[in-house]
Structure 1
Amino acid sequence: MKKVVKLNQLDEFELIKRLRSRLRTRSSRVIKGIGDDSAVFLTKPNTIQLTSTDALIESIHFDLKTISPKQLGRKAMAVNISDISAMGGNPYLALISLGLPKSTSIKFVDELYSGLQKTCNLYGIELAGGDTVASPKYLFINVCILGEAPKNRVFYRTGTKPGDQVFVTGNLGDSAMGLKILMEKNKRAISTKHRNFLIKKHLEPVPRVKESRLLTKSKLKITSMIDVSDGLAQDLGHLLTEDKLG
């Protein structure tokens, strides 16, 4: 039987060394990645920089009984990518902060980073470093992501005008229904196929990077955009409130 190695059997520098060996710098824009006091990177001319950060905390945002380490890594990265895409930006660099209970296995950490790295690779993002600390009870993961956009093609929540048409991508409510299915003890009268589809929508969200890039390159007159994470009614309300329209 293979022995399970826990975090309390490694010191901080051993863990950093392990992660560093797995997260090798791939982008020519990153001068210095994981292992130093700061990440150092180049920016492109004629662009503006975007940054966003979101944290996921165990027992509040996720339950380790219903999500795998790889899924958690993918989801943590995806929700942050969405914030950059919602403004027409192109994500290119990410930093990760982890709070890990000492009972966490090294295998769990490896799989978590595998999920993070897989999503980064999918969208051409460099995972350039971060921080790892001990947490007394619950696991938390925080992603800080950087993106860039042309100076004249950034979309804010402000700019909405009376008469504007509203468009959305994807099926609204899929993730919320997936969460509801996971939280319910009794199975709903729903087919296994649809059940698994909705659960996957919640556990493995897909950021709208492709759609954002198409919109940014298009000649469409876009007045505002927003990441729909709280539901159409509430997030549409945010747009209206920003421009004092409702």
Structure 2
Amino acid sequence: MAHDEFSLIRQWTSRSHGDEKDGVSVGIGDDAAVFAPTPGMEMVVCCDAMVETVHFLKETMKPADIGYKAMISNISDVAAMGGIPRFALVSIAVSPRWTAEECSEMYDGLYEACGQYGVRLIGGDTASAPDTLFLSVTVIGEVEKGMALRRSQARSGELVFVTGSVGSSAAGLHLLLAQQNRTVEAGGGTDESDEWDTLVRAHQRPQAQVQAGRLLLLSGACTALNDISDGLASELWEIAEASGVTIQVEAERIPLLAKTRSYAQKVGKDPLAWALYGGEDYQLVGTLAAERSEEVARRFAEQGIPFAVIGRVEAKGQGVFLVQDGERRKLPKAGFNHFGAVERG
């Protein structure tokens, strides 16, 4: 990508303009950004990196999808604290395999995600990479002082809930990889039905649950919260270990899309395995006081946000158990971290 670095930065970030109304007094174009936090709020800061061939494949994700998803994964972390995402910084290291046009499209996706969630891109960096693309996003959010939701506050007797559906992203990835394999075997393009578009979109264009996180925080009923980036089992284990509790969930209560079930049946896979270990659904899983569950469910229904109770927090300890077909078994701590680390389909 033989272009002047600074001219590319100006092109890719030209949509960021100064506006003191959002608290930014110095944005992109200087040595550093300057912004003012909202009075009475604490800052929430998170950073995630995406590495080509490890977190995404060029064959299954368009450049705009990669940028969009990189931003969403960070916004989701803010949502899991009950926070409001506000600002972002993006650093990219580009290999010779990527053109300036593809990188510009990646920024299209980054900006699209920012626009959906009211996030302002205020800085970052660019560099060259020898063989694969590296994309790092930092999101800065805010939450009411002393109110941030954490993983460590689950207590015995509380209920376990999940927003939305899980397993959809892993199903979509399975489909995309299968399509790619068929394309290679056929020596060219293949005609594919849009029957499974919902699953593909779940993988390429997931949604961060900011509204749900805010609802949970403001309800005062939620005690522990986590976002589902590495699979439901992994996130439940993080809550169990941080809180020092045992969690039991019921397989039949775990919400799966009908499309996920039907696609799994078509390809001979277990949709529950996708839900437990697939990851990248970016829904929220957490615990809440049992006596408040109906009230919270009603609030979610009023906002049109799916909400399901899937289990219960049991005695002190550290473990996650699944009840399925009358049998109870301990779930392994496995989850999706990298391509090849856990079988996703």
Q: TM-score, normalised by structure 2?
A: 0.65
- Looking at structure 1, the residues matched to 194 and 14 of structure 2 have their Cα atoms a distance apart, in angstroms, of 39
Q: In the alignment, does 2:4 pair up with 1:14?
A: no
- Report what 1:230 is aligned to: 230
What displacement does 1:26 show? 4.3
5 Å-filtered alignment, 1:1-246, equals 7-8=1-2, 10-26=3-19, 28=21, 29-184=23-178, 185=181, 192-218=193-219, 220-245=220-245, 246=318
What displacement does 1:25 show? 3.3
- Looking at structure 1, the residues matched to 122 and 236 of structure 2 have their Cα atoms a distance apart, in angstroms, of 34
1:33-80 residue CA offsets vs partner (Å, 9 max, x unmatched): 112221111111111111000001101111111111111111110011
What displacement does 1:159 show? 0.4
Higher-strand-fraction structure: 2
Partner of 1:49: helix, strand, or coil? Answer: strand
Q: What residue identity is the alignment partner of 2:100?
A: I
1:87-143 residue CA offsets vs partner (Å, 9 max, x unmatched): 101000000000112453222122111111111111111000100001111111100
Identity %, equivalent residues: 37
Q: Mark the CA change 1:128 to 1:224 in structure 2 (over 3 Å): closer, same or farther.
A: same
- Looking at structure 1, the residues matched to 230 and 53 of structure 2 have their Cα atoms a distance apart, in angstroms, of 19
Q: What residue identity is the alignment partner of 1:205?
A: P
- Looking at structure 2, the residues matched to 27 and 195 of structure 1 have their Cα atoms a distance apart, in angstroms, of 44
Q: Which has the larger radius of gyration?
A: 2
- Looking at structure 2, the residues matched to 227 and 18 of structure 1 have their Cα atoms a distance apart, in angstroms, of 33
What displacement does 1:19 show? 2.8
Aligned residues: 235
The answer to whether the 8 A contact 2:19-2:25 is kept is no
- Looking at structure 2, the residues matched to 149 and 224 of structure 1 have their Cα atoms a distance apart, in angstroms, of 15
Q: What residue identity is the alignment partner of 1:144?
A: T
- Looking at structure 2, the residues matched to 237 and 20 of structure 1 have their Cα atoms a distance apart, in angstroms, of 39
Partner of 2:46: helix, strand, or coil? Answer: strand
- Looking at structure 1, the residues matched to 152 and 31 of structure 2 have their Cα atoms a distance apart, in angstroms, of 36
- Looking at structure 2, the residues matched to 232 and 27 of structure 1 have their Cα atoms a distance apart, in angstroms, of 40
Q: TM-score, normalised by structure 1?
A: 0.90
What displacement does 1:177 show? 1.1
The answer to whether the 8 A contact 1:67-1:203 is kept is yes
What displacement does 1:232 show? 1.8
What displacement does 1:194 show? 4.4
Q: What residue identity is the alignment partner of 1:198?
A: L
- Looking at structure 2, the residues matched to 49 and 14 of structure 1 have their Cα atoms a distance apart, in angstroms, of 32
Q: Give structure 2 stretches of 5+ with no counterpart.
A: 184-191, 246-317, 319-345
Which is further off, 231-240 or 55-64? 231-240
Q: Mark the CA change 1:122 to 1:52 in structure 2 (over 3 Å): closer, same or farther.
A: same
Q: Please tell me the root mean square deviation across aligned C-alpha atoms, in Å.
A: 1.8
- Looking at structure 1, the residues matched to 143 and 59 of structure 2 have their Cα atoms a distance apart, in angstroms, of 38
The answer to whether the 8 A contact 2:80-2:226 is kept is yes
Partner of 1:59: helix, strand, or coil? Answer: coil
What displacement does 1:192 show? 3.7
